[in-house]
């Protein structure tokens, strides 16, 4: 009987303090490991392509792409660091010790906040580009963008360091048994975190994108109203309508994907529930949140033709040529 009991423990040698392994079906567990490993690899590959493209080709060294580069770096680290550790947690036993547990959650909070901050910066960049295009080159310079990106990362590190200060001092404080890795945030801190990490950024993104959409539609209508030639009018009208649909579709994808990936994770906090009430729902929310890092390069980069051209050059190894950095990508 003791042997059976020991086999169900994370650490059989610690009979009185070890956590029990959750009951899992072998086929289901293998499928989840394979699926999540593929998501992790895909996240790393897609964001690595974005990083290489923007870093290597001179034509892509623009203010907007600097923010995309920062976003890709945070998403790359999610796929490279956070997802593999989260895969280990699927087994129900944490075997890497309390120190790595604390660092894992700290990195998770930092990268999530940095990713959200970069998305807000992208929204602000597009807002200025569409609503004030004449002043855009003077308002949005590479120097200012670099400062904003650095502030985004620095604030993320400091802010989450304050939130997790007690947890980082004692990473095993909230563990009920040996082999567990959990973090608990009190209600007040959690409410502030939800406002700053979710509600606030969502409000800013929606307001800015709605303003961008309204301005884009009004500009398209103004262009059509000033066309007098019948044939040219028909051509521009079709192009403008297509532009309106594309703008609506792109902005809709940005907002909807962000909401879909973040709402399940923050829903318990918004509803005033304990995040540990459902382990399955918690795991689902975390992985959906992480999947946003896989979708980001699709939403923010695959909409750009230059990304497809740069992928072609990278995959065909033309990037190894000495003058490839000056290739015509745009």
Domains of the chain (ranges; CATH) run 2-326 (1.20.1070.10)
Give the residue from 119, 159, 117, 125 showing the smallest Cα distance to 144: 125
Is the pLDDT at 153 greater than 70? The verdict is: yes
Query: Which of 283, 299, 225, 271 has the alpha carbon at shortest distance from 72?
Result: 299
SS3 (DSSP) at 177: coil
- This prediction has a pTM of 0.83
Q: Give CA–CA dist 106/171, Å, rounded.
A: 10
Structure-model confidence comparison of residues 325 and 304, the more confident one? 325
Per-residue pLDDT, 143: 92
Tell me the mean pLDDT in the region 283-296: 84
User: What per-residue confidence (pLDDT) applies to 268?
Assistant: 63
Are 197 and 113 in contact by the 8 Å Cβ rule? The answer is yes
The percent of residues in the chain predicted with pLDDT above 90, rounded, is 21
Quick one: which of 237, 238, 242, 217 has its CA closest to 227? 237
Q: What token pair was written down for 147?
A: 């400062």
For the ranges 105-119, 190-204, 217-231, 274-288, the maximum mean pLDDT occurs at: 105-119
CB of 259 closer than 8 Å to CB of 202: yes
Residues 6+ apart with CB under 8 A from 193: 163, 185, 269
Compute the residue count for the chain.
330
pLDDT of 146 reads 94
Structure tokens at 260: 């879909």
Query: Poorest-confidence range of 16-20, 120-124, 173-177, 225-229?
Result: 225-229
Q: Tell me the average pLDDT across 37-58.
A: 92
Q: Computed from CA positions of residues 171, 186, 283, 297, in that sequence, does the dihedral angle turn out positive or negative?
A: negative
Task: Tell me: pLDDT of 139 over 50.
Answer: yes
pLDDT value, residue 231: 47
Position 159 confidence tier, pLDDT thresholds 50, 70, 90: very high
Residue 2 pLDDT: 40
DSSP per-residue letters across 62-93: SHHHHHHHHHHHHHHHIIIIIHHHHHHHTTT-
Would you say 71 and 149 are in contact if contact means Cβ atoms under 8 Å apart?
Answer: no
When the pLDDT of each residue in the chain is averaged and rounded to a whole number, the result is 80
Lowest mean pLDDT among 42-56, 111-125, 269-283: 269-283
pLDDT score for 122: 86
| Per-residue pLDDT reduced to its tens digit, 166-222 | 888 888 887 888 888 888 877 788 788 888 888 888 889 888 888 887 887 777 677
104 CA to centre of own chain: 17
Q: Above 50 in pLDDT, residue 236? A: no
The pLDDT of residue 252 is 62
**Segment 58-112, tens digit of pLDDT:** 888 888 889 989 999 999 999 999 999 888 888 778 888 888 989 999 999 999 8
State the pLDDT confidence band at 279, using cuts at 50, 70 and 90.
Answer: low
pLDDT (0 to 100) of residue 283: 75
CA distances from 52 to 49, 143, 193 (A): 5, 21, 33
Q: What angle do CA 26, 32, 38 make, to 5 degrees?
A: 135
Q: What local confidence, expressed as pLDDT, does residue 39 receive?
A: 93
Q: Taking 50 as the threshold, does the pLDDT of residue 237 lie above it?
A: no
């Amino acid at each position: 009987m003791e042997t059976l009991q020991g086999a169900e423990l994370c650490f059989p040698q610690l009979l009185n303090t070890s956590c029990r392994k959750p009951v899992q079906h072998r086929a289901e567990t293998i499928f989840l490991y394979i699926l999540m490993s593929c998501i992790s690899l895909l996240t790393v590959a897609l964001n690595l392509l974005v990083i290489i493209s923007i870093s290597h080709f001179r034509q892509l060294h623009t203010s907007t792409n600097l923010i995309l580069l920062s976003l890709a770096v945070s998403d790359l680290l999610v796929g490279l660091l956070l997802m593999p550790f989260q895969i280990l947690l699927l087994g129900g036993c944490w075997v890497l010790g309390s120190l790595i547990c604390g660092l894992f959650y700290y990195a998770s909070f930092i990268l999530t906040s940095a990713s959200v901050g970069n998305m807000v910066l992208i929204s602000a960049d597009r807002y200025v580009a569409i609503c004030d295009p004449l002043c855009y080159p003077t308002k949005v310079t590479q120097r200012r963008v670099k400062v904003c990106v650095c502030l985004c990362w620095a604030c993320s590190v400091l802010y989450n360091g304050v939130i997790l200060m007690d947890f980082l001092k004692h990473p095993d404080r909230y563990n009920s048994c040996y082999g567990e890795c959990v973090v608990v945030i009190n209600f007040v801190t959690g409410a502030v975190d939800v406002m700053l990490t979710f509600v606030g950024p969502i409000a800013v993104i929606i307001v800015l994108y709605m303003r961008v959409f309204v301005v884009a539609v009004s500009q398209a209508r103004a262009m059509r109203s000033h066309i007098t030639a019948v044939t040219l009018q028909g051509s521009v009208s079709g192009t403008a309508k297509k532009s309106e649909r594309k703008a609506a579709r792109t902005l809709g994808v940005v907002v909807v994907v962000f909401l879909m990936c973040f709402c399940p994770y923050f829903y318990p906090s918004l509803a005033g529930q304990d995040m540990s009430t459902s382990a399955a729902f918690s795991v689902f929310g975390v992985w959906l949140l992480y999947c946003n890092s896989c979708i980001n390069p699709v939403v923010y980069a695959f909409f750009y033709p230059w990304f497809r051209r740069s992928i072609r050059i990278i995959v065909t190894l033309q990037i190894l040529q000495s003058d490839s950095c000056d290739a015509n990508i745009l």
